[in-house]
Amino acid sequence: MNELSQKQTLVVHGIAGAGSVALATAFTYPLDTMKVLIQVGSSTGKELDHAHVLTRLLSVSGNAGLFNGFGWLLVGRIFGLGARFGVYEILSAFYKDGRENNYLFASEALLAGVVAGAIEAVISSPFELIKLRMQVSSASYVPSSNFALEKGARTPLIARLLHGCYPDRRALDQYIGLISTLKAKNTNLTSALLEYPWTMTGSGSPPSVSNVRRPSDIISLEGWSTLWRGLRSGIVRDSVFGGVFFSTWQFLHQAMLDWKAAGMNPPPRLNEEVGPLSPLTVSLTAGFSASVAAAASHSFDTTRSRSQCTVLPKEYKGQGGQHSLLKLKKS
């Protein structure tokens, strides 16, 4: 009977935790979309502001664009936060083992948070990449059909690796014009260029994020390893966030317990004897700790966002790609 009660308690806590994560994610997701668009759209001397980003987003995708990719972030956050707090609880239990007052030092919370953040980054990386691609796509204009190649001109390679993408006719004509002065034996230069991944867009530039946002498109064009692109900066970001968050929270939580215990007579011997703290105070303390951690890790978050927004086609080694590349080299 006791085991059944424990299982029910675990299920209830799991459902409540997932619901809390979903509610918090939905509430803050539009702000996350704005943050990502500012991070990837700003450059040196040209920083975007919130008004410009919001106007662009609403004009391209409407209000629905604010929540584009929400499902991917929700799934990734449930798994990621579960791993973060699960690993932290295991490590903190190891540190507190054998101590009478169940006390955890801030330095120990820092180390546990660093490890927990690193594991969270590995688990949530694929979900964050897809989420970011969808957010950027929601604010990206689709090229006008007046300058797109007709559907019949799409090569099998483009149809397979870039679903729904039609190369820019104007850019392709300019690209062909630049190399038309070279001596070439290949009479069908356009088709040969479109068989090479770096020129599938018609201009020699990498494909747009709006054309490579679905998991199948990302894997076929860029490879499985792309799902963990920017992992090093992601590990540093989440490690810094986890370490600063848990250490700050532990320090402030212990300070609040000591403050409450100061007015008790007789003075409590253990933290458990102090009693629970005010839910509002605990929430404000957690929010402050998260704010400090976010400020400390923000630069690494920007680095990772820009890395994940870059499309890097893998070297296509299929028969068509090799044949077209050989023809270009002979030209």
**H helices within 42-162, ranges in order?**
50-61, 70-96, 106-137, 156-161
> In this prediction, what percent of the chain has a pLDDT beyond 90?
32
195 alpha-carbon distance from chain centroid: 31
Question: pLDDT tier at 76 (50, 70, 90 boundaries)?
Answer: very high
Q: Is 271 helix (H, G, I), strand (E, B) or coil?
A: helix
| 251, 263, 280 from 273: Cα distances, Å | 18, 13, 20
Question: pLDDT tier at 200 (50, 70, 90 boundaries)?
Answer: low
Mean pLDDT of 238-247: 95
Which of 184, 166, 154 lies closest to 320, judged by CA? 154
pLDDT at 11 over 60: yes
Q: Are 206 and 312 in contact (CB under 8 A)?
A: yes
pLDDT at 49 over 50: yes
Residue 43 carries which DSSP code? B
User: Which CATH class for the 2-140+230-308 domain?
Assistant: mainly alpha
pLDDT at 263 over 60: yes
What is d(CA 62, CA 81) in angstroms, rounded to the nearest whole number?
Answer: 30
Q: Are 84 and 117 in contact (CB under 8 A)?
A: yes
As a whole number, the mean pLDDT across the chain is: 78
Q: What's the confidence (pLDDT) of residue 196?
A: 60
In this structure, of 9-13, 60-64, 132-136, 211-215, the range with the lowest mean pLDDT score is 9-13
Residue 94's DSSP bridge partners are: none
Which of 300, 296, 97, 308 lies closest to 209, judged by CA? 308
pLDDT at 251 over 80: yes
What tokens does 22 get?
A: 């979903």
Is residue 104 left, alpha or beta, with left meaning phi > 0 and alpha meaning psi from -120 to 50?
beta
Q: Is 46 helix (H, G, I), strand (E, B) or coil?
A: strand
Q: What's the confidence (pLDDT) of residue 320?
A: 42
220 alpha-carbon distance from chain centroid: 20
Length of the chain: 331
The domain limits of the chain are: 2-140+230-308, 145-224+317-330
What is d(CA 88, CA 114) in angstroms, rounded to the nearest whole number?
Answer: 9
pTM of full prediction above 0.85: no
Q: Are 78 and 120 in contact (CB under 8 A)?
A: no
Exposure on the CB side of residue 65, measured as CA atoms within 13 A: 22
Question: pLDDT tier at 147 (50, 70, 90 boundaries)?
Answer: very low
pLDDT at 183 over 60: no
Most confident of 2-11, 20-29, 140-149, 156-165: 20-29
Mind spelling out the 3-state secondary structure of 134-183?
A: HHHHCCCCCCCHHHECCHHHCCHHHHHHCCCCCCEHHHHHHHHHHHCCCC
Q: What's the confidence (pLDDT) of residue 46?
A: 77
| Residue 271 or 91, more confident | 91
pLDDT at 241 over 80: yes
> In this prediction, what percent of the chain has a pLDDT beyond 70?
70
In this structure, of 34-43, 76-85, 234-243, 265-274, the range with the lowest mean pLDDT score is 265-274
Residue 268 carries which DSSP code? P
Q: What's the confidence (pLDDT) of residue 315?
A: 62
pLDDT at 98 over 70: yes
Q: What's the confidence (pLDDT) of residue 325?
A: 38
Q: Is 239 helix (H, G, I), strand (E, B) or coil?
A: helix
| Residue 288 or 171, more confident | 288
What is d(CA 26, CA 55) in angstroms, rounded to the nearest whole number?
Answer: 21
| Residue 211 or 155, more confident | 211
Q: What's the confidence (pLDDT) of residue 6?
A: 60
pLDDT at 202 over 90: no
The C-alpha torsion from 92 through 96 and 97 to 101, rounded to 10°, is -150
Q: List all residues 6 or more positions away from 109 whose beta carbon is below 8 Å from its beta carbon.
A: 92, 246, 247, 249, 250
Mean pLDDT of 40-61: 83
* 267-311 pLDDT per residue, tens: 777 777 777 788 888 889 999 999 999 999 999 999 999 999 888
What is d(CA 22, CA 15) in angstroms, rounded to the nearest whole number?
Answer: 10
**Radius of gyration (Cα) for the chain, nearest Å?**
26
What is d(CA 248, CA 288) in angstroms, rounded to the nearest whole number?
Answer: 9
Mean pLDDT of 19-23: 83
Q: How many CB atoms lie within 10 A of CB 216?
A: 8
